[in-house]
Amino acid sequence: MKRIVIYGECMVELRTESAQTLTKSYAGDTYNSAVYLKRCLPSSSVSFLTAIGADFLSDELMFNMGENEINTDYVFRSVSRNLGLYMIRNDEHGERDFAYWRSQSAATQTFTLLEETKTFIHCDWFYFSGISIAILDVPQRESLFAVIDELAKNGSKIVFDPNYRASLWDTKEDAQYWTERAYQVSDLTFPGADDHLMLYGHRTADDIFSYLANKNIDEIVVKNGSVGVHILEGKEQRIVPVERVEQVIDTTAAGDAFNGGYLAARLSGKKPVESASYGAKVAATVITYPGAIIPLIDFNNHIPTL
């Protein structure tokens, strides 16, 4: 059994149903990936590293993690902070518009609580994102990278998705610095073409591969929207087409779902190209439903487990 620890923030998701109606659920970029990874590869052990509050919403999230078979050994409780929250609205093309309340969320204290409890993390794979770096203050970011260094020394593989959100960073230069550090310690990365365009001005997959050429990353998977997935493993580059979707309902977790599916396939022993095709099928299914995490029964009707 492969042990995967995924670090990040899970928030309350409020989705607009009508002018007077909201639907509540729980989601967040790396949490979405954790759920889809577990659904795709039920034999894996998926743990979520985060901090939540002592409020009733945090209690509900714990139940949600249990329902999704996500291990909670590394979920810490803050007595002074609650869950973050976001609202989402979609246009007729499924594109999303967000409003966030997360600056004082419990997840921003994750590594303070990790150190206070003297907890040690054990895993085969560790996954984090640019968003999960951005929500931390600088001392906790250093603590995160200290944990990653220790895990790498003990043989863990490190996975990173830059997932750039400008509003979470003080400056673009700050985001570039920490993203660079994350790339330097990663074995597998999921750079998004849109993220690199906004953060670095890179306009093609070749630009991204050139930028990452000296980072010693074993496997680079560039998500490039409808153009397809560009994979660089060693010196070999391949393009994997994405599945066409007739009606897109909600693109919120497209990249997260792809990452979860890709990781599940790789952990099950599939090659990168086959894993990208599988991840693309997961993403194509997810964006035809509202919300970041779709009902399990609908997921299972479309996606074969590994």
Q: What angle do CA 188, 190, 196 make, to 5 degrees?
A: 130
What phi and psi, each to the nearest 5 degrees, are found at residue 264? -60, -45
Residue 161 annotated as catalytic: no
Q: How far apart are CA 224 and CA 144, in angstroms?
A: 28
Q: Got the DSSP string for 216-250?
A: --SEEEEE-GGG-EEEEETTEEEEEPPPP-SS---
Q: How far apart are CA 242 and CA 244, in angstroms?
A: 6
Q: How far apart are CA 174 and CA 20, in angstroms?
A: 39
Catalytic residue among 194, 195, 256, 298: 256
CB atoms within 10 A of CB 142: 13
38 and 261 in contact (C-beta within 8 Å)?
Answer: no
HSE-up of residue 197 (Cα within 13 Å, Cβ side): 10
For residue 157, give every residue at least 6 positions away whose Cβ sits within 8 Å of its Cβ, in sequence order, or none. 124, 125, 126, 187, 188
Q: How far apart are CA 161 and CA 127, in angstroms?
A: 8
Q: Which positions are catalytic?
A: 256
